[in-house]
Chains A and B, each alone.
Chain A
């Protein structure tokens, strides 16, 4: 560990601190352009084309299966799973409420486990299976938890609902829905500002006690 740190320091000392990789890419792409036609290169610089070229090199390839559909994507490493789902895959059922893992509105399943997609970089799900609220129902047939939320009115505005439902399904699968108190404890990462908590707990209990496969 100590050696690794030393190595990192040594390496970073050799290079300028100001984003060396981008500078290199900018220079090389500009040089390539200059070698071809200087006029184009000037134009490219004016239009920040060098930045665009650099940006392409900064993207990483990502293979991920979302709701059973395999995606081959190219994403910036700083993109969160939440923003990937909402802005690039247009799966807006997964909600943005805080960006800090404090509200649970963005809860999805990654390889069957519930995670806050806002705290998960998209690259972390490379090779994994993601299920969002859009992938929970079986075609037109709602998942039992979705049915129970409707029956018990486990929502008002509906914005936290996808996260609550994904969390609720996982809560039962994990074996953390054995009593009202346990459900409340293990659902406390999902905030509902409208205050549908008692109805949500009723919905989870019904699904749990009904013994349906979740």
Chain B
């Protein structure tokens, strides 16, 4: 509190309860697979057991004969999907290649690729019948080990991925202090609790309704419309509740198209729920990425050179790219900076964006390297960061719209008790455990896109807000309700309804990239302001700012008053660089004999503008921190490269944090508005909540043990060797 007063930061209110909380705690919230459609059938895949090659024979007779089976689709009999592709911004196809097309030919591109799809009248019957599909293959040699083909990595096409150079980053002649280090982030899999699922139901020959797990109903609508050559309005997509996604429902995946194809063919609604292991093989993952950082600095800790190179995996048929090295260009004031980004194909399914895409991987390397440099300079890591603070954007020279990173450092340091950190590693021991502190920071672009919102004042006094956006769990409805209540100050939040997750509503972008509060919130704000003005015009502008809306509608004898507003950011934004920042602090204890790492304390600070929904924002930051702890300590999709198959494609063997792994976590907010981005002054926080956390943990483990682990996850074996 004292620190807040010092910084003139307004104290946060508690915030309102989640508006859909009651539905979630009573089991009434309906997720994709939970809608009832008469005549439902069930789809189950049979998957390739080889990694690369062709299908020699595929025998579906037994499956077809099994009870309850309506159809078995393979490449031999599946009808052609007329415009087989995915699409829709930001789930646009990666820069090269194309998405997998299921059941079009006999090639196998990765292990676990569906080779047949069984439709039956019950889930059990479909599952059993799928086990009866027998395929013989002609195998070809495969490569799934990215670490073996790093030398084959190439720069993706397009200006965004070209090597970046500022000053003379490769001139190391007169650099007093140098550091070179390599870092590896393995495959991480999103693994939201809800399995990817779709119900596809053709209501006419050229019309269908789908209930889908998607982060964007409009992009799914467009992708299905394109694939089946339909007008988008003929495709109704509903996603009222999404059980987490973290990026894995940004694209429209091949299984969704397959379900729609099957439903058309069997003329019945088809429900497809991917099994947990299929999540690993179907809906993307954070790609394995090798990185190298070279830093040069003066003896007093001014950065002179910074070179960041990343090489990441993609699939053999499609280029996936992300901004892994981008933050290195602007995070610190450094005159000579170079970045190199390359990808290398292996025989796997295509990676995709996972929470903090690119930056989470890049920040692990950069923020560990800065910590290593601080250690080398015998300087406090926060002091080193402050000395190299970028007051303006070093990449383009623009001023920042707002930036309170120094305040965030201070708030977090005070809260965790940073003064108790000993700069010499392995110097604190308590009850037989080594104690260490670490910190790391994160950054993610803060922008505002275009969204359309319809705001209606109903005759019962309920303010109805409608737009197609989804809520993958972050609390979008709650935040939008609060934004509306700040404009309509006289209306209690219980009288504000936010309707979402339906492609027939006015368009909003896909939920992702920490853009929704800014984008949709901006449109909600603008729609509410416009509706208020419309009321003022109606009552002649002479009245109160808070008229009795029910009475006004009654007096004017109109059933309701509505506006539909499309809005996006203003052009002034182009003159500024806008980012959200996070700073994560952790205290760990490490058992010296077993190498077990336990997280004792976590403080995560977000500089993400004005916090519009404090309660859900706290949960989002805590959740991101926990995701980062998982990335740091336990998450890794392990492929047995002899067979090209995951050995841990389930939640018992792919470890994610559980209750016992997680202590109390403090989420702090700088809470200073950035009105250049949107009228609420709010910036995104979904990504920054995770970005930088894995470095904070790694740095704390180093401080505790003196052992620098540069390859995630930091498992006990790496600390004992």
Contacts and interface: CB of A to CB of B under 8 A. Distances in A.
Interface stretch (B110-118, B375-383, B414-422, B612-620): B612-620
Interface string A124-152: 00000000111011000010001001110
Contacts of B664: 180, 198, 201
B232 to A, nearest CB: 27
Q: Which of B31, B122, B625, B659 has the most CB of A within 10 A?
A: B659
A97 B659 contact: no
A132 B472 contact: no
Given A100-B650, A162-B27, A165-B25, A76 B124 contact: yes
Contacts of A92: 27, 30-31, 33-34
B658 interface: yes
Interface stretch (B221-229, B240-248, B320-328, B403-411): B240-248
A41 to B, nearest CB: 17
Contacts of A99: 275-276
Given A55-B67, A198-B664, A153 B618 contact: yes
Interface string A151-170: 10101111111100100000
Given A87-B122, A133-B27, A149-B21, A51 B67 contact: yes
A43 interface: no
A172 interface: no
A183 B658 CA distance: 12
Interface string B8-40: 000000000110111111111111011010000
Contacts of A97: 193-195, 276, 651
B318 to A, nearest CB: 26
Contacts of B24: 155, 158, 161
A87 to B, nearest CB: 6
Contact of A98 (B29, B36, B276, B665): B276
B201 to A, nearest CB: 16
A76 B26 CA distance: 29
B619 A153 contact: yes
Contact of B194 (A48, A142, A159, A201): A159
A133 B30 CA distance: 13
B87 to A, nearest CB: 26
Given A100-B276, A191-B656, A78 B26 contact: no
B296 interface: no
Contact of A198 (B28, B242, B665): B665
Contacts of A151: 17
B357 interface: no
Contacts of B473: 155-159, 194
Given A93-B27, A158-B473, A187-B659, A192 B22 contact: no
Interface in B467-509: 472-475
Contacts of B17: 150-151, 153
A120 interface: no
B263 to A, nearest CB: 17
A107 to B, nearest CB: 12
Contacts of A86: 33-34
A65 interface: no
B659 A161 contact: no
A191 B18 CA distance: 21
Nearest to A160: B193
A6 to B, nearest CB: 30
B191 interface: yes
B622 A199 contact: yes
A74 interface: no
Given A90-B36, A93-B28, A157 B244 contact: yes
B81 interface: no
Contacts of A187: 659
A83 B123 contact: yes
Contact of A191 (B28, B124, B658): B658
Nearest to B20: A158
Interface residues of B, number: 65
B651 A195 contact: no
Contact of A194 (B30, B124, B275, B623): B623
Interface in B616-675: 616, 618-620, 622-627, 650-652, 656-660, 662-665
Contact of B193 (A134, A165, A184, A191): A191
A86, A160, A161, most chain B CB atoms within 10 A = A161
Nearest to A92: B34
A194 B626 CA distance: 8
B243 A78 contact: no
Contacts of B625: 195
A194 B475 CA distance: 12
Interface in B190-224: 191-195
Given A48-B67, A184-B659, A196-B619, A150 B624 contact: no
Nearest to B472: A157
A2 B615 CA distance: 62
A105 B193 CA distance: 8
Contacts of A162: 25, 27
Contact of A156 (B68, B244, B656): B244
Contacts of B662: 184, 195, 197-198
B193 A156 contact: no
B65 interface: yes
A193 B191 contact: yes
B273 A96 contact: yes
B659 A188 contact: yes
A188 B193 contact: no
Interface string B94-135: 000000000000000000000000000011100010000000
Chain B CB within 10 Å, residue with most, of A52, A90, A97, A200: A97
A191 B34 contact: no
Nearest to B127: A78
A203 to B, nearest CB: 10
A102 interface: yes
Given A94-B27, A137-B26, A157 B243 contact: yes
B193 A103 contact: yes
B651 A91 contact: no
B624 to A, nearest CB: 7
A100 B651 contact: yes
The 8 closest A-B pairs by CB, nearest first: A93-B27, A157-B473, A159-B243, A195-B626, A158-B24, A195-B623, A133-B27, A156-B473
Given A76-B124, A157-B243, A198-B662, 14 more contacts: A51-B68, A83-B124, A92-B31, A95-B31, A95-B243, A103-B651, A105-B193, A146-B26, A149-B25, A158-B243, A184-B660, A185-B659, A193-B192, A196-B623
30 contacts: A48-B67, A51-B68, A78-B128, A92-B30, A96-B33, A100-B276, A100-B651, A103-B651, A133-B25, A133-B26, A137-B26, A153-B616, A156-B244, A156-B473, A156-B475, A156-B616, A157-B193, A157-B194, A158-B23, A159-B241, A184-B662, A185-B659, A188-B658, A190-B658, A195-B622, A195-B624, A195-B657, A196-B623, A198-B665, A199-B619
